[in-house]
Copies of this chain bind each other. A is one copy, B any other.
Amino acid sequence: MKSLVEAEALDAADPLRSFRDRFALPKGVIYLDGNSLGALPKSTPTRLQAVAVEEWGQGLIRSWNSHDWVGAGRRVGAKIAPFIGAEPHEVVVADSTSANLYKLLIAAVKAQGQRRTILSEPGNFPTDLYMADGAAWSVGDARVKTVRVADIVDAIDDDVAVVLLTHVHYKSGAMLDMAAITAAAQAKGALVLWDLSHSVGAVPVDLNGCNADLAVGCGYKYLNGGPGAPAFLYVAERHQAVLRSPLSGWFGHAAPFDFGDDYAPAGDIGRFQCGTPPILGIAALEEGIAQFDGVNRAALFAKGRALGDACIALMGEYCPEMELVSPHDAGSRGSHVSFRHPHAYAICQALIDRGVIGDFRAPDVLRLGFAPLYVGFADLWRAVEVLTELLRDGSWDAPHYHARNAVT
């Protein structure tokens, strides 16, 4: 990609081009942060109105039956299944990614007999490590161990109950070999819990093809479910009857409306639900997922890889002072690309000020995300143009760009 004209030609030839029109992107903004918070689908406000005004306002309590609120977690989970190579009855929407990590970590540790170690990698997304810490502390006699991902398989000993890994790394964008790691871990008697937050809707995932055990993922990134959208979890069918959720709330009960004193988990994936499902949030997530209707997923993922490749090439040519953190090879990378710079924070702020929204990850990383449903090649070209200009004129080095926000 050597020019804006060429970028525009790629966009014109993009079979997914029309999908961009489904999103309400602000004028004058190039949004390269759909990996953190997906853009607003144009149809979501209408859906929220319908849920609020008709289902809640008019239907009131009756909508638990008449609008299938009671089945919302299973229904929307089933819609996520095709994105991750799962069967519809293996996925449920519930709670947050963090809470779902906790459920499956404790379920796994408890099911693994004497094995008492949760193994992960340092630098994993913080909440994964924090929840592992909380799970081990809750159980009491469990512990968390971290080793570099290259050493993960070697580090699986007889005490490792579950290996917790993020499929696409939130910072580097590096994508792990799910099939190989899963097989190697299982051969050593460990379960594997995959965090798909930066994968689902962005890269191919084939959980059942990898004989995966457990997974969780986020609803508000590439799935466009809105800020703090409900998350999902996957439990392979073969594990469902055995694993018990520590968060054994009434919505995971076999018969919640019998109001019995004794907990008896549902016989299916629904047992991993906890409290009353968040209907507004699940509706927005369902609408976010609906934006993929009609998408050829192979073309979608290919476009994500092409955008990442083009980004790396352009940055290498025009912004060589930004050090590539992500894998060069698109086959080992998610749909975002990261660069290191000692002043990445200020540079990111200056970019946002000029309408190019990427994000900063401490201590020194600028992330550029390519949600292939609505980001085009001309967007990328213009973003690199703005960044090139910034770096050339040094205008990022102003005091207000160095001042930290609460969320950075």
Give the B-binding residues of A (Cβ under 8 A). Answer: 24, 26, 29, 31, 33, 36-37, 39-40, 44-45, 48-49, 52-53, 55-58, 60-65, 69-71, 95-99, 102, 106, 110, 122-127, 129-131, 133-135, 137-141, 146, 171, 220, 226-231, 244-251, 253, 256-263, 274-282, 284, 352, 357, 359, 361-362, 405-408
CA distance A131 to B56 in the complex (A): 27
Q: Which residues of B contact A62 (CB under 8 A)?
A: 352, 357
Residue contact B407 to A64, C-beta cutoff 8 Å: yes
Residue contact B139 to A60, C-beta cutoff 8 Å: no
Given the known interface contacts A33-B61, A99-B95, A140-B139, the answer about A131 and B247 at a Cβ–Cβ threshold of 8 Å is yes
Residue contact B39 to A60, C-beta cutoff 8 Å: yes
Q: Which residues of B contact A250 (CB under 8 A)?
A: 98, 125-127, 130
Smallest beta-carbon distance A191→chain B, Å:
17
Residue contact B99 to A274, C-beta cutoff 8 Å: yes
Residue contact B406 to A228, C-beta cutoff 8 Å: no
Given the known interface contacts A62-B357, A408-B257, the answer about A99 and B249 at a Cβ–Cβ threshold of 8 Å is yes
Residue contact B60 to A29, C-beta cutoff 8 Å: yes
Most buried by B among A102, A248, A408: A248
Q: Which residues of B contact A26 (CB under 8 A)?
A: 57-58, 60
Residue contact A249 to B130, C-beta cutoff 8 Å: yes
Q: Which residues of B contact A246 (CB under 8 A)?
A: 102, 134-135, 137-138
Given the known interface contacts A26-B60, A60-B31, A249-B96, the answer about A261 and B65 at a Cβ–Cβ threshold of 8 Å is no
Q: Which residues of B contact A258 (CB under 8 A)?
A: 362
Task: Determine the residue in chain B with the shortest Cβ distance to A278.
Answer: B228
